[in-house]
Structure 1
Amino acid sequence: MNLKSNANKINRRDFFKTAGIGATALAIKPDMLFSRNMKRNRKVRIGIIGGRFGLGFQFQNHPDCIVEAVSDLIPERRNDLIRTYRCSKSYESLEKLVKDPKVDAVFIATGAPDHARHVIASLKAGKHVLCAVPAAMTIDECHEILETVKKTGLKYMMAETSVWRQRMISVKQFYKEDAFGNFIGFAAQYNHPGLETLYFENGEKTWRHGLPPMLYPTHCTSFVVGLTRERLTEVSCIGWGDNDPILQDNIYNNPFWNESAHFKTSNGLPFSVEVNWKGALRPSERGEWHGDKMSFIMSHGPMSSTVLVKAGAKRIKDDGGFDVAENSVEEYNTPNWWSTDMLPEPLRHDSGHEGSHTFITHEFIDSIVTDRTPEVDIYQALAMTAPGIVAHASAMKGGELLKIPSFDK
């Protein structure tokens, strides 16, 4: 099959060759490829709920989707949604939108503490659901969402951007090739200093005011759960705070700006995760995958490079005179996966969060029209979310080692 990208007209085999990914990576699972030849049902009519994060997606351009309606509590944001999605129908609330019989599915881009309530209401109204991260804020909410998904039989997908970052797609391909060999450990960081600007709106505290870092863990946990599908089984977490007034008075009773967790995976591997809201830190959402054959280390931002470290057989002397393996380190140039036939042509362009938004748009719509399970389904979503909830509980107990519940079938 000679499938070409819009931008540079290279075929898939040439694209993989240029990207430095071998032939076995061509065996992408079928649902990651876009094909107009596949039997497809009628177009999905979607409702977009939430006029901030909800503005950054491409449903109006997907060939199998129609934006039927939009909603936000605030009129200005509602108007932004109308303009972005070229949709004339709007509702003042989610509760009104989900009563619309023409709406098949919804994208919930509301505040994190409302996700569980909004997801459950939408599912009970008969709508497929795509929801922003995290899936839930408590373990009880995790159970409630899971039971509702199971009872309704409708599709649920979490819009985790890290699963579809361009470098993460490369990691998936290397993993399919067995380029890493045996994994020996993982690390991830989400540094987002400066979020205090979103803590207040019109003089009122927002849901972000005092949010515990590990209640927003999925940008990190997805780097492992979204790759190997293994589970995080236990955790010890340490928090840091400085007695700032925000940390002394918030609805979460959270005393921490930053939290650092050490997880154990179901394969017995270590996984270090940091979520940091404050400090002299480089803003980043990054991961490291360490193997006995190769490691993939994401850059820390514009002043560093993503690198591959490959195990060497030779030994050399270090500057202390000791033998050390001569491992090679090479810069990795990430392909623009969004320019390939992984997406329908109207979506083959860059988008938010390192090109992930068009992939999320397509994954959700395609899972409905082809009646398949989305990549980040309810089980994956909870496996990415629940570990952070338990990690914060550990931090509140001074780093006590805690078990993480499983929500799998």
Structure 2
Amino acid sequence: MKTIKNGIAANPDRRKFLGTALLGSSALALAPHFAFANIPAVDKKVRIGIVGGRFGASFYFHEHPNCIVEAVSDLRADRRDRLMKVYACKKSYESLDKLLKDPKIEAVFIATPAPDHAAHVLASLNAGKHVLCAVPAAWTLEECYELREAVNRTGLTYMMAETSVYRQATISVKKFYKEGAFGKVFSAAAEYNHPGLEELYFEDGKATWRHGVPPMLYPTHCTSFLISVTGERLTQVTAMGWGDDSPLLQNNPYNNPFWNETAFFKTNKGTPFRVEVNWKGALREVERGEWRGDKMSFYMSEHGGGDSTLVWASNEIGKDDAGFKNKKSRVEKYDQPLWWKTDMLPAALRHGSGHDGSHSFITHEFIDAIVNNRDPEINIHESLAYTAPGIVAHKSALKGGESMNIPSFD
């Protein structure tokens, strides 16, 4: 089996040389606005506030050459203390409302519970702050419309912190797609499995926001795998759910009967796209995607990181297991580059980070977009394109798989 690096078949004795020679140039070709030559092109410093002491503590704003962590906030004192320690910040606030009154803060990272995202983003935009928000962008279609209106009205930078967009394999897939390696992408699939999520349903004897949360209300780790690569929009869906009589699902605030949901989407280009979000069962804990083309297909590794698999169409004639002649596709290991080691990032951010290296990319993309007054890759339109299809898919599942149209937010 040959090994593929950056789309080039590499013999073992040439692999190291090719990897070293190509990583930098590939990074430049992949996303020019990411290319970073150690010295910031602009001296501007963005003063940011971090809100939410769990997920919010896993990013690297304090390391970015164009950023200063001005203040942090969480409702709990222990989490505020953790944020101050992580970001070497001496200023904290007991609430988002108080933080938003700080005139020094130009931008905020909202890492609060998912049902609060839309309200917290709206408050931040209305306070004149740029916003990076954890996923999903919204909980209802009504909130999707409200967010779009607020971003358009204020003209401020909004970005959603979707990790699947910046997984190392996804970055490679985006590069392959731009180069035309896939030919025509004729189908795709994605799965996000988080078994054992019920352990987070209650905390200190009280129900958390996760109690009974419908899987398809948290779809963006999957939907972004296709949308961020091809730019397609999901326009139609039929979905099904699975649940049981577990008392843990009873009396949840969402009236959700499902542990797991599977959605079958159709895109504006007619591409079929299967998405699974599963909370319970004999499951691999994974976030991964598959992209299938008439020239090449890419299968992320079963762990969602590390080496993946490429399948190339071939004219080589072989025989199937029944003895019939057929064209045999060529299967090759893809030796995954670590894009976070390249000049796609400032030198200080070139290290491993959460969700397969994505956190440092999200950090840089948000700050760089503000500094250079440009739209981030995951702008409001992309964010809602990832989020809204899941909201509609859950409605379809509640109606036994009824086919439903998905509104556009472009």
Q: Do they superpose with TM above 0.5?
A: yes
Give, in angstroms, the shift of residue 157 of structure 1. Answer: 0.1
Q: Report the counterpart of residue 122 of structure 1 in structure 2.
A: 124
Alignment of 1:311-326 (within 5 A): 311-326=313-328
Could you tell me how far apart the structure 1 residues matched to 2:208 and 2:56 are? 17
Residue 42 of structure 1 deviates from its aligned partner by 1.9
SS of structure 2 residue aligned to 1:186: strand
Same amino acid, percent of matched pairs: 64
C-alpha displacement at 1:35, in angstroms? 3.9
1:361-406 residue CA offsets vs partner (Å, 9 max, x unmatched): 0000000011110000000000000000000000000000000000
CA change 1:30–1:16 in 2 (3 A) is farther
Query: Could you say if the C-alpha distance between residues 332 and 200 of structure 1 is closer, same or farther in structure 2, counting changes exceeding 3 Å?
Result: same
Choose from 353, 356, 377 the match for 2:355.
353
How far apart are 1:104 and its partner, in Å? 0.4
Alignment of 1:279-318 (within 5 A): 279-301=281-303, 306-318=308-320
Provide closer, same or farther for how the CA distance between residues 81 and 304 of structure 1 changes in structure 2, counting only shifts above 3 A: closer
Q: 1:141-156 alignment to 2 at 5 Å? A: 141-156=143-158
* 1:322, distance to aligned residue in structure 2 (A): 1.8
Question: What pairs with 1:9-408 in structure 2 (closer than 5 Å)?
Answer: 17=19, 27-35=29-37, 39-40=41-42, 42-301=44-303, 306-408=308-410
Whole-Å separation in 2 of the counterparts to 1:188 and 1:106: 30
Q: Distance in 1 between matches of 2:315 and 2:182?
A: 16
**Deviation at residue 36 of structure 1 after TM alignment:** 5.6
Kindly provide the CA deviation profile for residues 138-173 of structure 1, in whole angstroms up to 9, marking residues without a partner as x. 000000111011111000000000000011111111
Q: Is the 8 A contact 1:68 1:102 kept in 2?
A: yes
Q: CA deviation digits over 1:100-126, x for unaligned, max 9?
A: 000000000000000000000000000
Q: Deviations over 1:204-239 (max 9, x none)?
A: 100011000000000000011111111000000000
TM-score (norm 1): 0.93
Q: Any idea what the Cα deviations from partners look like across 1:83-116, whole Å, max 9, x if unmatched? A: 0000000000001101100000000000000000
SS in 2 for 1:359: helix
**How many residues were matched structurally?**
396
SS at 2:289's partner residue?
A: strand
Give secondary structure in 1 for the equivalent of 2:344.
Answer: coil
User: Given that residues 210 and 247 in structure 1 are in contact (C-alpha distance below 8 angstroms), is that contact kept between their aligned partners in structure 2?
Assistant: yes
2-side partners of 1:208 and 1:400: how far apart?
A: 26
Distance between the aligned counterparts of 1:325 and 1:176, measured in 2?
A: 27
The structure-2 alpha-carbon separation of the partners of 1:326 and 1:226, relative to structure 1 and needing over 3 Å to count, comes to same
SS of 2:30's equivalent in the other structure is coil
Q: For residues 363 and 302 of structure 1, what CA distance do their matches in structure 2 show?
A: 22
Distance (whole Å) between structure 1 residues aligned to residue 351 and residue 23 of structure 2:
21
Q: Matches of 1:33 and 1:382 in 2, distance apart?
A: 27
Secondary structure at 1:289 match in 2: strand
Moved more, 392-401 or 190-199: 190-199
Q: Deviations over 1:35-79 (max 9, x none)?
A: 466642520000000000001000001000000000000111110
Alignment partners' CA distance in 2, 1:68 and 1:217: 32
Q: How many angstroms apart in 1 are the aligned matches of 2:186 and 2:173?
A: 15
Report the Cα distance in structure 1 between the residues aligned to 2:214 and 2:170, rounded to whole angstroms. 26
In structure 2, what is the Cα distance between the partners aligned to 1:79 and 1:303?
32
SS at 1:393 equivalent: helix
* TM-score for the superposition, normalised by structure 2: 0.93
**1:300: how far off?**
1.3
Q: CA RMSD in A?
A: 2.0
Structure-2 change in CA distance of 1:185 and 1:25 (3 Å) = farther
The alpha-carbon distance between structure 1 residues 280 and 20, as it changes in their structure 2 partners (threshold 3 A), is: farther
Structure 1 residues 197, 18: CA separation in 2 closer, same or farther (over 3 Å shift)? same
Distance change >3 Å, CA 95–CA 44, structure 1 → 2: same
Judging changes above 3 Å, is the alpha-carbon distance between structure 1 residues 90 and 303 closer, same or farther for their aligned structure 2 residues? closer
Work out the CA distance in 2 between the residues paired with 1:173 and 1:342: 13
**How many angstroms does 1:249 deviate by?**
1.2
3-state SS of 1:262 partner: strand
Aligned-partner Cα distance in 2 for 1:179–1:401: 33
Q: Which amino acid aligns with 2:181?
A: A
Deviations 1:283-338 (A, max 9, x none): 00000000000000011128995200000112211111222221111111211100
Contact 1:234–1:402 (CA under 8 A) maintained in structure 2? yes
Take 1:50 and 1:264, find their aligned partners in 2: how far apart are those partners?
35
Which residue type is aligned with residue 381 of structure 1? S
**Aligned-pair distance for 1:342?**
0.3
Equivalent residues of 1:161, 1:357 under 8 A apart: yes
| Counterpart AA for 2:104 | K
Residues 88/303 of structure 1: CA separation in 2 closer, same or farther (3 Å cut) = closer
Rounded to whole Å, the distance in 2 between the matches of 1:31 and 1:20 is 18
SS state at 2:103 partner: coil
